[in-house]
Amino acid sequence: MAAYNGSQIVICGNTYLEVENCKRIMEYNDIYLKVRTTDGIIAEIWGSGLRLSDYNTNGIAVRGNISSIELHGKGEE
Amino acid sequence: MYFNSLRSRTGFCIYSESSADLGKFINSLRNSPIQFYGLTFRRDKLYGYVRSGNYERLERLASEHSLICERTEERGIYFVTKGYHLRFGIIAGFLLSLIMLWVMSDRVTRIDIGGNERVTEEELLSLLRDTGIYVGSRISDIDLRAAERQIVGMDKDIAWVGIRHTGSRVVVEIDEINPIPEMERSNTPCNIVAARDCQIKQVRVYSGMLIPMVGDSVRKGDVIISGVVDTKFGRSFYVHAMGEITGVYREKMTFSQPLHDTERIHTGNAVKKAVSIFGKRIVYHREGKVTGEYEYYEEEAPLRIGKITFPISLVTMHYSLTEEVTVTRTAEEAFRLCENRIKNYEENFLSGDVTVTDREIVRKDSENAVTVTVVFTVEGEVGTDHSIFAKYEGREQPEAPKKEAD
């Protein structure tokens, strides 16, 4: 099976979120997280008590109360 | 679980005093081989956890970004046990428990015996000990099949033995040889004869022909119910005589009590307390000195936790010390002792299906002893089967010593 190099976002309820192939964390605090994925998508995650874990290479896991997620394509930023 | 609670991890707090960019640091951290967990922002400070082995790299990375890194907490089995590394008692206890576990796993701690009725547990335990199976013996040294064969060969009452072990418990199942029941042949021609000299008081004849009448006296061996029955046509045939013969007879007993006698008297007690480990006893307490002769009994209290019995027990050994002394009694005291013996004799030998109707007591005092002669008048069964065609050789039954039929 060929490896998927694009971004992959998994949301489990409103308390857990995984972003695969996350290239860069652009902004982070306990209510807001903004990340850029390897294929250029920017994900903005809003919530409270956001905690970040580096669970594998190029992947991040976010825990906390997630209230909204916004995705922006290339060039929309 | 995201965190393995056994693995050691170190909490950190990273902050900047010179408004350095924490965002850059986070991306550097992500791109480094350092794994982090629970990264969170609180009051412009970055908190999280890394594996304890990565903490120094984290510190270096933080200093590269002009950030201050502080250790906030340490968790995991390493840090928990680190505080106890000088507690030698705990280490010794842990090692001792490991040794005990190793020893106990290959030792017999309990022997359960089942299926025995006539053969006592003590006998079986003794046989098992002879074959090398006892509490404390090594399980790996026991050849169960050989032990089974040996035990069957050693005791003639045992037909089959099955020995198995579950963990450190040895289970012994036995099957005893059933003795061939004594066959009472009810069709063999026989007479009923008098077992002793007596006067017949009551007769019940079920089969056969009554020879003497009620009230007649008979001597030992006289036929009371004959198995040879004559018909009115002059013919005879043989039957198995059956009946109940109640007779009155006299029995004479002599009891003697010397006035000067040596007796064993109780002089004191001694107690020993011991710990028994796999049957080996270590005495830890002594009370009194054990000398001379003694009567002995012991109490054993095994260590039990729930349903598990351990091969460790507390044994209390009681010694009742005795000494042989010469006792001098008056004639009256000796007579009272004789009376007690008469009473015991009646309870033991003249009770049940016989009744003592009268007793004549004759006391005779001599210089050294008091002799009491008792003549009991007894009422009871006097008939006994006597086969007609059997060969009797020297058939007089030996009489009990001191027992005289009057």
Distance between CA atoms of residues A72 and A32, nearest Å:
15
Counting one residue from chain A and one from chain B, the pairs whose CB atoms sit within 8 A come to 44
Inter-chain residue contact B40 with A52, CB threshold 8 Å = yes
What was the pLDDT predicted at B289? 87
| Residue of A24, A28, A36 to mutate when probing chain B, most B C-beta within 10 A | A28
CB within 8 Å: B36 and A28: no
Cα(A15)–Cα(B230) distance, integer angstroms: 114
Domain membership flag for residue A77 = no
Nearest Cα of chain B lies from the Cα of A29 at a distance, in angstroms, of 5
Per-residue pLDDT tens over the stretch B117-129: 888 888 999 999 9
Amino acid A21 reads: N
Interface probe, candidates A26, A34, A53, chain B, greatest B C-beta count within 10 A: A53
Distance from CA of B83 to the nearest CA of A (A): 29
Supply the angle between the helices B22-31 and B55-64 in degrees, to the nearest 10. Answer: 140
Q: Does position A44 have pLDDT exceeding 80, yes or no?
A: yes
Q: In this structure, are residues B130 and B154 in contact, taking their beta carbons and an 8 Å threshold?
A: yes
Comparing B361 with A5, the larger pLDDT belongs to B361
| pLDDT value at residue B393 | 58
In sequence order, what DSSP letters do the residues of B59-73 get, joined into one string?
HHHHHHTT-EEEEEE
Residue A34: name the closest of A19, A49, A14 by CA.
A19
How far apart, in whole angstroms, are the C-alpha atoms of residue B131 and residue A21? 72
Number of domains in chain A: 1
Query: Residues 6..45 of B with a Cβ closer than 8 Å to A: which?
Result: 22-23, 26-27, 29-30, 34-42
DSSP H or E stretch at residue B25: helix B22-31
Residue type, B403: K
- Do A28 and B2 make contact, defined as CB atoms within 8 angstroms? no
**Which of B23, B30, B38 shows the shortest C-beta gap to A51?**
B38
- Record: contact A63-B38, CB cut-off 8 A: yes
Q: What is the pLDDT of residues B342-369, one digit of tens each?
A: 999 988 888 888 888 888 989 898 888 8
Answer yes or no: are the C-beta atoms of B259 and B328 closer than 8 Å: yes
On whether the CB atoms of residues A7 and A37 are closer than 8 A, the answer is yes
Among B315, B313, B295, CA closest to B304: B313
| pLDDT at B73 (0 to 100) | 85
Give the domain CATH number at A66: 2.60.40.2000
Contact A49 B29 (CB under 8 A): no
Residue A58, domain member (yes or no): yes
Check CB contact of A51 with chain B, cutoff 8 Å.
yes
DSSP string for residues in B106-137: TB--EEEEES-SSS-HHHHHHHHHHTT-STT-
Query: What digits encode the pLDDT tens for the residues B51-89?
Result: 888 888 888 988 888 888 888 888 887 787 777 777 888
Domain B110-176: CATH architecture, name and number where available: Roll (3.10)
pLDDT tens per residue across span B369-402 = 899 999 999 999 998 888 887 655 555 544 544 5
- Disruptive mutation site among B29, B35, B36, B39 for chain A (greatest number of A CBs within 10 Å): B39
Residue at B239: amino acid letter: V
The CA distance from B376 to B361, in Å, is: 9
Residue B396: per-residue pLDDT? 55
Report pLDDT for A3. 60
Using CA coordinates, name the residue in chain A closest to B40. A51
Per-residue model confidence (pLDDT) at position B20: 67
Q: Look at residue A39 in the predicted model and tell me its pLDDT.
A: 85
Q: At the topology level of CATH, where does B9-81 sit?
A: Alpha-Beta Plaits (3.30.70)
B29, A54: Cβ pair inside 8 Å?
Answer: yes
- Confidence check on the interface: ipTM exceeds 0.95, yes or no: no
* Cα gap A48→A64, rounded to integer Å: 6
**Which DSSP string do the residues of B142-169 spell out, in sequence order?**
--HHHHHHHHHHH-TTEEEEEEEEETTE
Q: What is the DSSP letter of B141?
A: G
Determine whether the interchain pair A28/B26 forms a contact, defined as Cβ–Cβ distance below 8 Å: yes
Q: Which residues of chain B have pLDDT under 50?
A: 1-3, 397-398, 400-401, 403-406
Say whether B23 and A51 touch across the interface (CB within 8 A). no
CA A46, distance to chain mean position in Å, is: 11
CB B284, CB B291: distance < 8 Å: no
The domain containing residue A41 runs over which residues?
8-72
Comma-separated ranges of CATH 3.10.20.310 domains in chain B: 110-176
Cα B264–chain centre separation: 30
Binary contact (A24, B27; C-beta < 8 A): yes
Pairing of strands B280-287, B260-277: antiparallel
Rounded to whole angstroms, the Cα distance separating B279 from B216 reads: 67
| Chain A CB contacts of B39 below 8 Å | 28, 51-54
Of B22, B34, B36, the CB nearest to A53: B36
Contact B35 A50 (CB under 8 A): no
Compute the mean pLDDT over every residue in chain B, rounded to the nearest whole number. 85
Whats the size of chain A, residue-wise? 77
**Closest listed residue to residue B357, CA positions, set B334, B380, B373, B341:** B380
Are B41 and A49 a contacting pair at CB < 8 A? no
Supply A71's token pair: 């995705």
Interchain CB contact of B61 with A (< 8 Å)? no
Rounded Cα–Cα distance for residues A28 and A39 (Å): 20
| pLDDT the model gives residue B249 | 92
Structure tokens at B346: 């009646």
Token pair belonging to B372: 């009491």
> From CA B200, how far away is CA B339, in angstroms rounded?
30
∠ CA B197-B201-B206 to the nearest 5 degrees?
A: 100
